[in-house]
Amino acid sequence: MGKRKLMSPLSSSAQPVVKYKRTCEQPPSANGAKTLTEEEYSKLKLYLKEKKKILRTFPRILLNARGQLSQLNDSGFSESPLLPSDLNELILYSVYGPGKYVPKWSSLEMQCNLNQTCVLIIDGCEVNTKEDFSHFKSSLPMFSKYKFLPPIEVELPPSWCADYDTDNTTSITDDVVSESTSTQKENVEDKEICSRTRLLMSLNQMMIHNYPLPTNKRQFTMDGFRFTKNHYLPVTDNSPMYAIDCEMCYTSIGRNELTRVSIVNEKLEVIYESLVKPTNKITNYLTIYSGITASKLKDVKTTLTDVQEDIIKILSPDSILIGQSLNCDLDALKLFHPYIIDTSVIFNLNGNKGSKSKLKLLAKNFLDMNIQCGNLGHDSIEDSRATMLLVQLKLCKCKVHLKKNLMAPYDNIWSTSKLNIEEHSTNKVVLESVCKSMEDTTNRFCMAHMQLKNKNNLNLVNRWCEKYWAAMSSFALCAVVFTGCGAEGKNSVCLLNVKQPPLNHLQDKF
């Protein structure tokens, strides 16, 4: 084999290689494109960095290998359709978060930042052949416009409300309803779709987040710790909730001690408020955080033991305590309590278990409340009310809108007497009503069921979906289900997406 002939770099047929130093200046562009100045390059770099940081907080759906097998091919069929229970898992996970329901065919990243779950069911599309599917895709451009996931196949019947074996084909929201209504009072107007018992911390979570537990090996002695009750009752969705916030000062024993405690009930009424005289000498009032000064504690005689006695009397055996990083407050109170909802856990903006979002940020983002402002320290009443409101935001309402002729089949599936279901005479009114419901983000689960009379009128369906999508809030999961699809129209097509907010404010910044 002959040696390769090397061309001299000075050969007339060789082109000289021009190397540009890696700086903010770009090499001359052959097509006359504008080069960036050093200032423009710095701004672009900072913009991309900020954009990447923000995008990490956006919820999104990703399909794993199992989910990809359910995607429809060009002929309108998939290798392995999903079961209704698979779709159930995603819907329930989007509402409840990590716990009992975990989708095995997809992942929903940053679920804690979802504002709503919206389901739109449309009967009568009849996508049965390759030609039908081609017409279906070309007539619904909104799904490619907003970058929905490729359509997936689900084993749902021609009509979602038709009679079928509920053991194998449970409805997509049947479990949502049964979970949210099984323990609700008959005449409660606002139904909690995400129940308070589902927000409770597990024992493992309490250990991870360093809650005071009688079995924990802790840095400090457990002397003086007490149980909030001698005996506890099982917690239910009717158990009372109380939000607690404490302020502390640094003392001579080298740690923080309790100096103020506030408790509010579910009506945001202050049911307990007290300043507390620490046992040991205060070496730092931490006024910028606690709001406590020497003059405020001058005539205070209430001790930690007094506060413990008062709280023990207030709480019932099934009370649920709410707070932001409540482990610190219970440490200061020297109390053990089994039923805890921690807002720093149920609202985690960055998805990192080791990094908690501040209450001030949560209140601003989710409640549009400005708290902990100024340099006079925190207000424990204000903070406890904010944590109660955040939890109540999770205990959302369920809105379902149907045409009147669909009501009878739903009676066989759901306990409709306990649901907030509205019947309407036409598809137009159904769509207008559900769009109005979605404007209220406390309606964390919104659903509409419509019927298409003319299967060829997919342009009308596209307009329905456009209006439905426009009404959804940012950070909302959208599931659109078309029934009567696949071979012999026995299955359904589902399209999924999470609505992301625009980044216009970031562009204006730069």
Query: How confident is the model over 365-424, as pLDDT tens digits?
Result: 777 788 887 666 778 899 999 999 999 877 766 778 887 776 665 554 444 444 577 888
CA distance 114 to 61: 12
pLDDT tens digits for range 478-490: 999 998 887 666 7
Chunked into runs of 10 residues, the chain (510 residues) has average pLDDT values of 42 43 49 74 83 82 94 90 88 75 88 87 86 90 94 75 40 48 38 72 89 70 87 92 94 90 94 92 86 87 94 96 94 95 81 72 81 77 92 76 69 50 88 90 84 87 95 92 78 92 62
In sign, the C-alpha dihedral spanning 327, 333, 339, 341 is negative
pLDDT for 144: 93
Q: What is the pLDDT of residue 81?
A: 92
The helix-helix angle for 304-314 and 326-333 (nearest 10°) equals: 120
Q: What is the Cα–Cα distance from 41 to 37, expressed in whole angstroms?
A: 6
To which residue do tokens 């998805």 refer? 351
Looking at residue 366, the DSSP 8-state letter turns out to be: I
Instruction: Give backbone dihedrals phi and psi of 154, rounded to 5 degrees, phi first.
Output: -130, 140
Q: Calculate helix-pair angle for 427-439, 458-471, nearest 10 degrees.
A: 20
375 burial level (CB within 10 Å; 0-12, 13-18, 19+): exposed
Q: How far, in Å, CA of 381 to CA of 323, rounded?
A: 11
How many Cβ atoms are within 10 Å of 377's Cβ, its own excluded? 18
Pairing of strands 116-123, 256-264: unpaired
Tell me the C-alpha distance between 184 and 239, whole Å.
Answer: 11
Q: What is the pLDDT of residue 275?
A: 93
pLDDT of residue 318: 95
pLDDT at site 320: 96
> Residue 158 has what pLDDT?
56
- Tell me the β-bridge partners of 262: 245, 273
Q: What is the pLDDT of residue 265?
A: 95
* Type and span of the H or E element at 328: helix 326-333
Q: Is the pTM of this model over 0.95?
A: no
Query: Is there a contact between 343 and 359 (Cβ–Cβ < 8 Å)?
Result: yes
Q: Give the chain's mean pLDDT.
A: 80
Q: Cβ contacts of residue 293 below 8 Å, gap of 6+? A: 285, 287
